[in-house]
Structure 1
């Protein structure tokens, strides 16, 4: 047990906790030992800045057991590895979020992303740690998803003290040493740390939580501009007027008051259903099929992580069985023959209920339906320098129809 005075930082205890964290989470060791400790009495507990400094309250270290301190080490370094400061700044710009209250929401949302799988297996949960369940939110989502699902109020008032620093939400604190301060990691050094951690996770995944495996995959294969475009096209389709709308008699329509004696149904919005048609013909490479699986995972996040709302349909010249999305790596991409995605559209539209959005991932060397389907359509197009058929030199495939939103995958960002 430590006998140091609470006004003095007990570095032995603090570093013993870091060593314990590295032992139980060896894939994070590089990141844990890359943090530089700065003693600060202005910090409520422990906090980080974007330059990989860790600000530590001596009083907090004095009163916190080593096992809990180890969990805080992992928690704080997770903010930096997952780039919560950069993501927080982007979200603030995109959604017009300003002021300390909105940054507190970001900190809470970022903590929910981390804490749903960080504790246990040798890491004790620190007192007061927030997780999605405490806010009645689902697990396994990202900071950006959680931000849409809660507001500050009675359920979060006990979290007003929460402050993981500018490394968690991007807002500079009064204790920050800044860009020019001592012991700051350069951008190249930060990228090197992330790369080493991602390599450790993918090389020997073992019992690494799914959230970390997903992060490592994205760290080694960062999103490209076309991926942002594809995601935006799908989000636009699933949020369009009419998508996922249905009538319900469970509550009266607001217009019913104007027609006495007549019961009118109310219009409700249900979560949209998405069917992903993957071109598995011989002209699509294994690498492109692998990329398609990555897109399926991203598409599930577009509908709030509801995998039950996403179905996958492999298709070459004939449509295969429609399968629900469980894990992207378990999707059987069978096929290898010619290409006729009209069969895929016909099969998808026979589903009950009919999908609200159809996403097609293809190289485009296929006939297309002549009539516009009732579902909104997004086409992810694998690029081809020349689109032809070796058996027919005069063959030129039809371009995707005008009623589809088209994004070219794997090249400079283009869309229509």
Structure 2
């Protein structure tokens, strides 16, 4: 057991990291150091506090400590905790596997940049995976044996779950400040790439995403479905199944009461020859999750497989019940027409866009098109369009 944290050595390592990678300097110097004997090595929380083990600092030379500084700040710059929060439930709570996948996303860039990371690091090749992917992709590819890999816990600033050593120490960075740091760093990455051309591909990709953000289609789809569901729920109607309470004041007269319907949804799936089963399955799974999130399920969802004709119509409870059939030409107008027979409040169409569309808006029914593929043609303007990039 060592004495107090050797701050001189630790801060010298940070200074070296900032000198060697000047585009990361602002982010590195935004971290607040917190000494802790409970953290295994080094870890960060959501507020950009860096918890450091004195023993870990004593064991590593300055050059390796500088590489670890860059590794930890990369978790925060890449918003790993925010992205982990958006994972499906089962994956989100397995913080160890999430952290390993995140380390794979970071360390392939750091190794390619010749940074001397500790020998017990993990990188994609540790598990026979290729470089250059995002942690969400690595997470699904990790083998079951990853659970036996020891010593990885970069804190809630990485995997998103609070750790015992994160004690809410003073200082820290707000979400607004973190966004400004990310943008400043992204500009630094681009400037460095223009003048020296030595930025790893992963950092260049990250900078482009920060400075030229793409809309997350899952969020956009969720928003469109929520809006359509709210619109449908506002379509109140009269019913005699439960008479109005005012009937008691009018002898011999039964008054209807108002009801607010649970939205009915039809999903038209393009199963023509131009559509791939993998893309369709993934998009359908996302749509199912969105519908469940807004409280639409049970027998309220009808799925229709369609190419130039309708091949299967089913009310489903889970994605596993969906039957996809077809493989011919494409005319989703027949699928939409068939969907309207179930009197849905809104229709979701999953397609690559190479299809005729109804020429005029549908009466009392909204249409949301999930376009699969970056080159999918644009539907008519009255259709809510979400581009699904995978």
| TM-score, structure 2 normalization | 0.58
CA distance 1:237–1:26, change in 2 (3 Å): farther
Q: Which structure's residues are more often helix, by fraction?
A: 2
Query: Could you tell me which residue of structure 1 aligns to residue 176 of structure 2?
Result: 188
Deviation at 1:379, TM superposition (A): 3.7
1:110 to 94, 102, 108: 102
**Hey, what's the Cα distance between the residues in 2 that align with 1:55 and 1:116?**
24
Say whether 1:13 aligns with 2:3: no
What residue in structure 2 maps to residue 174 of structure 1?
164
**Per-residue deviation at 1:239?**
12
Contact kept, 8 Å, 1:71 with 1:119, in 2: the verdict is no
Match of 1:207 among 198, 205, 223: 198
Change in Cα spacing, 1:8 to 1:120, as seen in structure 2 (3 Å) is: farther
- Is the Cα–Cα contact under 8 Å of residues 226 and 413 in structure 1 kept in the other structure? no
Displacement of 1:98:
5.8
Secondary structure in structure 1 of the residue aligned to 2:47: coil
Q: State the distance in 2 between where 1:187 and 1:229 align.
A: 22
Quote how far apart the aligned CAs of 1:19 are: 1.2
Whole-Å Cα distance in 2 between the matches of residues 120 and 14 of structure 1? 24
In the other structure, the counterpart of 2:77 is 81
Counterpart CA distance in 1 for 2:183 and 2:100 is 26
Contact persistence 1:238–1:272 (CA under 8 A): no
Aligned to 1:139: 131
In 2, are the aligned partners of 1:226 and 1:412 still within 8 Å (CA)?
A: no
**Which ranges of structure 1 fall in alignment gaps of 5 or more residues?**
246-270, 274-368, 381-396
Residues 46, 406 of structure 1: alpha-carbon distance in 2 compared, 3 angstrom cutoff: closer
Q: Which residue of 2 aligns with 1:218?
A: 209
Question: Greater CA radius of gyration, 1 or 2?
Answer: 2
Distance 1:412 1:224 in 2: 20
Distance in 2 (CA, whole Å) between partners of 1:140 and 1:237 is: 35
Q: Is the 8 A contact 2:96 2:147 kept in 1?
A: no
Q: Paired residue for 1:63? A: 59
| Matching residue of 2:153 | 163
For 1:222, what is the secondary structure of its paired residue?
coil
Report runs of 4+ in structure 1 exceeding 4 Å deviation.
225-231, 236-245, 369-372, 397-400, 402-409
Q: What is the distance in 1 between the residues matched to 2:59 and 2:177?
A: 33
The reply on whether 1:96 has 2:90 as its aligned counterpart is yes
C-alpha contact (below 8 Å) 1:48/1:76 kept by paired residues? yes
Residue 97 (structure 1) shift:
3.3
Residue segments in structure 2 that go unaligned for 5+ positions in a row: 223-266, 281-328, 333-349, 362-366, 373-377
Q: Does the aligned pair in 2 maintain the 1:226–1:414 contact within 8 Å?
A: no
> Could you give the per-residue CA deviations for residues 227-280 of structure 1, whole angstroms, max 9, x where no partner exists?
85589xxxx9999899657xxxxxxxxxxxxxxxxxxxxxxxxx779xxxxxxx
Counterpart of 2:44 (choices 48, 52, 56) is: 48
> Separation in 1 of the partners of 2:117 and 2:272?
44
**How many Å separate the matches in 1 of 2:172 and 2:33?**
11
| 1:286-310 C-alpha deviation (Å, 9 max, x unpaired) | xxxxxxxxxxxxxxxxxxxxxxxxx
Q: What SS does the aligned partner of 1:415 have?
A: strand
Residue aligned with 1:77, SS = helix
Deviations along 1:348-401, one digit per CA (max 9) or x if unpaired, are xxxxxxxxxxxxxxxxxxxxx9867xxx84249xxxxxxxxxxxxxxxx9789x
Structure 1 pair 412/84, CA: closer, same or farther in 2 (3 Å)?
farther
Give the 3 Å change call, closer, same or farther, for CA 204–241 of structure 1 in structure 2. Answer: same
Other structure's SS at 1:38 match:
strand
Change (3 A) 1:241 1:172: farther
How far does the alpha carbon of each residue in 1:310-360 deviate from its partner, in whole angstroms, 9 at most, with x for none? xxxxxxxxxxxxxxxxxxxxxxxxxxxxxxxxxxxxxxxxxxxxxxxxxxx
